[in-house]
């Protein structure tokens, strides 16, 4: 074998290795994006089976499988208050000071100390002139302040030790300023946090509809993009198409069914065996209408691409099956309304993040 042949073989091996490494990198990027979006591992309504709860001895049944609505969970119902802090989802520590002070520095310290929890930390001061609680970051001093730690999100429930550390830090700050402290008992607050987290886990539902090729012929990126834009879906920087409401909120998304994002520069050469429409129920206001629109778009894709609608087990999705899913979705949305955490509302957007 000549030196030239050996060199060509070596170059070819390097090129193949580079392509392989790039594909692995793309797959990891997609996996990371998916894990970030659904960190709680919330169930897809189209998938059957039970889900394990936090208590190993108490299995939690997938709420969307049963035709009847799941039993409601009684959540604490404090009076509505102005401002961003919300006692339904936040552990609140209120401070009354003899001399007005700025709470922004303490809030920043608390955020740094509790960053590992992934929970929001807020601070507000009481503006006596207007009677409103306002953000404490504006450089003003207040005689009454309140600090809040969010009790749950998709990363899970806050621990009692974190609640204790949060309250102790506020107490130390207040004591240095001869202030008085007011908050829930730690055990009661943690019990409330656990109850809130269980409620959220029971309604944290994703509805996925796949459109796959009927005859194993791949879909082209060019055609996918054309159809997406015809259905008011726009490709964004994360490689996913988004359908958005007039206010900018996400209604549903369209992603590649295979482990490769829709990179704009690669759409002309991309081919895939399917696409996935996804509705993140708790984060969508008007989820029933969004479901109808999403299914309509999926059917349009199937008709235009010569595909078929299937679930994640590749079982066909009939109109009857979709109607049953819609009925079950009504029960989930009713439960969220009864719990005063309506889908797509301010509380839901904080909790399901």
Give the pLDDT of the chain (353 residues) as one tens digit per residue.
555 455 545 555 544 444 444 444 444 443 444 344 444 454 555 533 333 333 433 333 333 323 333 333 344 444 434 459 999 999 999 999 999 999 999 999 999 999 999 999 999 999 999 999 999 987 899 999 999 999 999 999 999 999 999 999 999 999 999 999 999 999 999 999 999 999 999 999 999 999 999 998 999 999 999 999 999 999 999 999 999 999 999 999 999 999 999 999 999 999 999 999 999 999 999 999 999 999 999 999 999 999 999 988 889 999 999 999 999 999 999 999 999 999 999 999 999 99
Q: What is the pLDDT of residue 139?
A: 82
Same domain? 232 vs 135? no
Residue 259 is assigned to a structural domain of this protein: yes
Strand ranges for the chain from DSSP E: 90-101, 121-127, 132-135, 142-150, 152-153, 156-157, 180-183, 206-213, 219-220, 234-235, 241-244, 250-256, 271-272, 274-280, 307-310
Same domain? 218 vs 188? no
**Structural domain span for residue 239:** 205-351
The residue out of 178, 200, 222 marking a domain boundary is: 200
Same domain? 218 vs 298? yes
| Residue 323, domain CATH | 3.30.1400.10
Query: How many distinct structural domains can be found in the chain?
Result: 2
Q: What is the pLDDT of residue 1?
A: 59
Q: What is the pLDDT of residue 154?
A: 96
Main-chain phi, psi angles of 162, to 5 degrees: -70, -40
Residue 132 is assigned to a structural domain of this protein: yes
Same domain? 212 vs 320? yes
Same domain? 152 vs 273? no
Same domain? 103 vs 238? no
Same domain? 303 vs 172? no
Same domain? 214 vs 331? yes
Same domain? 179 vs 252? no
The residue out of 185, 200, 215 marking a domain boundary is: 200
Indicate the pTM of the whole model: 0.76
Residue 183 makes CB contacts below 8 A (sequence gap 6+) with 91, 92, 93, 94, 167, 189
Residue 286 is assigned to a structural domain of this protein: yes
Residue 307 is assigned to a structural domain of this protein: yes
Q: What is the pLDDT of residue 174?
A: 96
The dihedral built from the CA positions of residue 37, 39, 44 and 45, taken in this order, carries a sign that is negative
Whole-angstrom distance, CA of residue 2 vs CA of residue 159: 68
| Residue 95, domain CATH | 3.30.70
Whole-angstrom distance, CA of residue 200 vs CA of residue 180: 33
Same domain? 173 vs 212? no
DSSP state, residue 96: E
The residue out of 200, 218, 238 marking a domain boundary is: 200
Q: What is the pLDDT of residue 7?
A: 53
Same domain? 241 vs 283? yes
Q: What is the pLDDT of residue 138?
A: 77
Whole-angstrom distance, CA of residue 268 vs CA of residue 225: 9
Q: What is the pLDDT of residue 12?
A: 53
Main-chain phi, psi angles of 59, to 5 degrees: -65, 140
Q: What is the pLDDT of residue 279?
A: 98
Q: What is the pLDDT of residue 44?
A: 52
Q: What is the pLDDT of residue 9?
A: 53
């Amino acid at each position: 074998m000549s030196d030239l042949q050996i060199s060509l073989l070596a170059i070819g091996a390097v090129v193949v290795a580079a392509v392989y490494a790039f594909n692995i990198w793309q797959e990891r990027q997609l996996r990371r994006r998916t894990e970030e979006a659904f960190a709680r591992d919330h169930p897809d309504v189209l998938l059957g089976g039970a889900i394990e709860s936090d208590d190993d001895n108490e299995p939690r049944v997938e709420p969307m499988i049963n035709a009847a609505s799941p039993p409601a969970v009684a959540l604490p119902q404090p009076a509505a208050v102005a401002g961003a802090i919300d006692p339904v989802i936040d552990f609140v520590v209120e401070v009354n000071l003899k001399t007005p002070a700025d709470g922004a520095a303490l809030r920043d310290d608390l955020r740094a100390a509790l960053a590992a929890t992934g929970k929001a930390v807020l601070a507000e001061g009481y503006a006596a002139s207007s009677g409103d609680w306002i953000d404490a970051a504006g450089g003003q001093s207040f005689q009454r302040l309140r600090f809040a730690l969010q009790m749950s999100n998709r990363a899970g429930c806050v621990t009692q030790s974190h609640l204790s550390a949060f309250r102790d830090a506020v107490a130390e700050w207040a004591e240095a300023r001869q202030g008085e402290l007011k908050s829930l008992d730690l055990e009661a607050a943690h019990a409330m946090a656990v109850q809130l987290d269980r409620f959220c886990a029971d309604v944290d539902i994703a509805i996925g509809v796949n459109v796959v090729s009927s005859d194993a012929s791949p879909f082209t990126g060019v055609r996918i993009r054309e159809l997406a834009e015809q259905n008011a879906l726009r490709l964004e920087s994360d490689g996913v198409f988004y359908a958005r409401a007039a206010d900018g909120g996400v209604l549903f998304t369209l992603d590649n069914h295979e482990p490769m994002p829709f990179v704009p520069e690669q759409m002309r050469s991309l081919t895939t065996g399917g696409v996935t429409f996804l509705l993140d129920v708790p984060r969508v206001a008007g989820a029933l209408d969004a479901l109808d629109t999403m299914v309509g778009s999926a059917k349009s894709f199937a008709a235009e691409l010569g595909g078929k609608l299937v679930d994640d087990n590749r079982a066909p999705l009939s109109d009857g099956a979709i109607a049953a899913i819609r009925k079950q979705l009504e029960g989930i949305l009713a439960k969220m309304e009864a719990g005063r955490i309506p889908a797509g509302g301010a509380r839901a957007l904080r909790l399901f993040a």
